[in-house]
Structure 1
Amino acid sequence: MTDIVTAAILVIGDEILSGRTKDKNIGFIAEYLTNIGIDLKEVRIVADDEADIVAALNALRERYTYVFTTGGIGPTHDDITADSVARAFGVGIDHHPEVVARFRERWSEQELNEARLRMARIPDGAELIQSATILAPGFKLGNVIVMAGVPSIMQAMMDIISPKLKSGVKMLSDSVRANAREGDIGGPLRAIAAAHPDTIIGSYPFMDDEKKPNTNLVVRSRDPDKLAAAMNEVKEMLAGLNVSR
């Protein structure tokens, strides 16, 4: 079986922590990675503080196959992600000539000020993530993929970098509506989970159309036969329930 490939997301920005900006990237990246066979294991959010970013990056890149960062690669003084990545890897950082050339095609010498040139600073040895429609690039250094915080740009960067990533066996899933409350099924569900260690079984409560408490059960596994066996047992358990809501 192909090795399991794991990932973490590091969201960078004071604006996320303050609530001024609502993150729209985590859910997209999580679904994207699931669809290409990469397991998202952790998400962290850190402020625009270089020491905090470096500490988080070093911890995550040691633990997971990939780390995806969003935010902090713009033109302002608090956009310090590129510098932080360079520091984490112990490499230099400078204006990338290819990026500067692209900027000169877009802006006049007067418009190409210090702030805009900040977006051309790339850590030494990094691979650019850019296209004809992405002016300021992201980059990949080691197992760290640095992307924009703007959702539309981040999504375009994911499309560019994803073919270059290794992936594992995709996680399969199946679900069933329990027509029971979580408390009614917690015991037997725990027993089923213990009997099927190669599956992940989750319960997700909700209020149904009749405003009554209900539960969706989701079974996940990389092995279709093990998934089917666990789901069959879940359905048999539900069929034998005698509960009222």
Structure 2
Amino acid sequence: MASGQEARVTAAVLIIGDEILSGRTRDTNLGDIAAYLGVHGVDVAEARTVPDVIEVIVEALNALRSRYDYVITTGGIGPTHDDITADAVAAAFGVELYEHPDILQMMQAKYELTPARRRMARVPEGGELVINPVNGPPGFTIGNVFVLAGVPQIMRGMLQDVGHRLKGGAVTQSRTVRVEGSGEGVIAAPLEAVARAHPEMSLGSYPFFEPGRFGSNLVLRGRDPAEIAAAVGELIAALKAAGIADVAEIEA
């Protein structure tokens, strides 16, 4: 777990659903969650995708919530038999589920409360609601776990009620150095030297291939603006010393 105001605060994303693993549905939630949490100074450090199997969800959830400051789950909170995320979360925390009166009242005002719809009112004991401003019942949070919908539009709406509950660390910043006309084989040594000199930072190479041109975008990420600026200067100097002429920082 992270500690201290400037310490790294981490999160894991647990994507739940057979439809993701089968390829029938393409996940877009991970990118949205990572971008949203990054603004709040929380780094997504791990992501897992698991099937609609309660034992697997419980095992993954317990592993992730003990390792990271926060866990965001998506999927499995609808009205059908395979929507078992609430059951799994309750089992992981060792508590019972109950029908939340606020959710029941909210749904009753819109439509008939069928047994299937009542499933969406179930919340673990000790949980708090996460507002759903888009459509349907809310999500919930318990401990360091936030349980959100799988439908991207609804998930993004629920995220807006998550940020203010997080203890954020220093926000990660990034700068990009673009190299044209040289492959990663030439770039590797200078990049590694700068990475070794700045172990607290993340340095990555992302090749691009465009008509008539190729190269790499070298992305430097860290929390200390002064260190990032110094590393950018060192990287450009190291690349030029390696004989790479077409190199410059660009707006990411």
Aligned-partner Cα distance in 2 for 1:178–1:112: 60
- Residue 136 of structure 1 and its aligned partner are, at CA, apart by 1.0
1:16-65 deviation line (CA, Å, top 9, x unaligned): 00000111101111111111110110000000000000000000000000
Aligned-partner Cα distance in 2 for 1:147–1:115: 18
Change (3 A) 1:72 1:131: closer
Extract unaligned runs of 5+ from structure 1.
none
Aligned-partner Cα distance in 1 for 2:245–2:19: 46
Give TM-score, length-normalised by structure 1: 0.94
- Residue 131 of structure 1 and its aligned partner are, at CA, apart by 4.5
Using the TM superposition, name which of 233-242 and 13-22 deviates more: 233-242
SS in 1 for 2:177: strand
Change (3 A) 1:244 1:175: closer
Q: Is the 8 A contact 1:198 1:226 kept in 2?
A: no
The aligned counterpart of 2:190 is: 188
Aligned-partner Cα distance in 2 for 1:105–1:54: 33
Whichever residue aligns with residue 205 of structure 1, its letter is P
Aligned-partner Cα distance in 1 for 2:81–2:144: 26
Q: Is the 8 A contact 1:95 1:121 kept in 2?
A: yes
Change (3 A) 1:23 1:215: same
SS in 2 for 1:40: strand
Matched residue pairs, number? 241
Whichever residue aligns with residue 126 of structure 2, its letter is G
Give TM-score, length-normalised by structure 2: 0.92
Aligned-pair Cα RMSD in Å: 1.6
1:67-114 deviation line (CA, Å, top 9, x unaligned): 00000000000000000000000000011111111111111xxx3210
- Residue 209 of structure 1 and its aligned partner are, at CA, apart by 3.6
Q: Is the 8 A contact 2:72 2:148 kept in 1?
A: yes
SS in 2 for 1:106: coil
The aligned counterpart of 1:160 is: 161
The aligned counterpart of 1:74 is: 78
The aligned counterpart of 1:169 is: 170
The aligned counterpart of 1:178 is: 179
The aligned counterpart of 1:28 is: 32
Identity across matched positions, percent:
51
Whichever residue aligns with residue 95 of structure 2, its letter is V
Q: Is the 8 A contact 1:193 1:199 kept in 2?
A: yes
